[in-house]
Amino acid sequence: MSIGAAFYALDRYRLRALVIDPSTVSGFLHSPAAQGGPHDSQTVEQAWDVVRTLMPEAVDGEELDGTDGLGCIYLTAAHVERAAARLAQHDVAELVGRFTGEPAKFDELYWAKVWRDGAQDLAEFMEGVKRFFAGAASRRDAVVFYIV
């Protein structure tokens, strides 16, 4: 079994309830938007460790203990707006080039070799993260990064 992760956009006021009761995070994330679940999501699958290393702004929030996941970080709407602005400045091709061009520097990351060989897929995930944060910021959403 492998470890994967995704970003989830949610109403900024709903975030408080998840922080108060972290045991509800998993159930909430799997609820449809029509039933009050996340507005949007962006998977990064097994590239989660590479993405959070190359794009630290995307996980520049607070850790949330007590969930069913292997890790959970939340970003308030204000964090999301700042992260989106910084992520918009990134050149994904340059980040992926740095990752593939300096393998020894990134070898300790989860599935690093797979993502070096699949650099195009990695770039697509990273572009997706940029779009996801731009959309979340425009809605003033909070974001949860959930690792399972």
Q: What is the pLDDT of residue 115?
A: 96
Query: Average pLDDT for residues 98-127, to the nearest whole number?
Result: 97
The CB density around residue 124, as the number of other CB atoms within 10 Å, is 13
Residue 1 has pLDDT above 90, yes or no: no
Q: What is the pLDDT of residue 65?
A: 97
Query: Average pLDDT for residues 42-67, to the nearest whole number?
Result: 97
For every residue of 59-91, DSSP letters joined together read G-SEE--SSSSSEEEEE-HHHHHHHHHHHHT--
Query: Average pLDDT for residues 53-74, to the nearest whole number?
Result: 98
* Average pLDDT along the chain: 97
Q: What is the pLDDT of residue 2?
A: 93
Query: Average pLDDT for residues 7-13, to the nearest whole number?
Result: 97
- CA 93 from chain centre, in angstroms, equals 19
Query: Average pLDDT for residues 50-75, to the nearest whole number?
Result: 97
Q: What is the pLDDT of residue 34?
A: 87
Please give the order of strands across the beta sheet that includes 62-63. Answer: 40-45, 5-10, 142-147, 71-75, 62-63
CA separation for the pair 111, 107 (Å, rounded): 8
Q: What is the pLDDT of residue 24?
A: 97
Q: What is the pLDDT of residue 139?
A: 97
pLDDT digit string, tens, across residues 23-40: 999 999 999 998 989 999
pLDDT digit string, tens, across residues 82-97: 999 999 999 999 999 9
The percent of residues in the chain predicted with pLDDT above 90, rounded, is: 97
3-state DSSP helix/strand/coil percent for the chain, to nearest 5?
A: 55, 15, 30
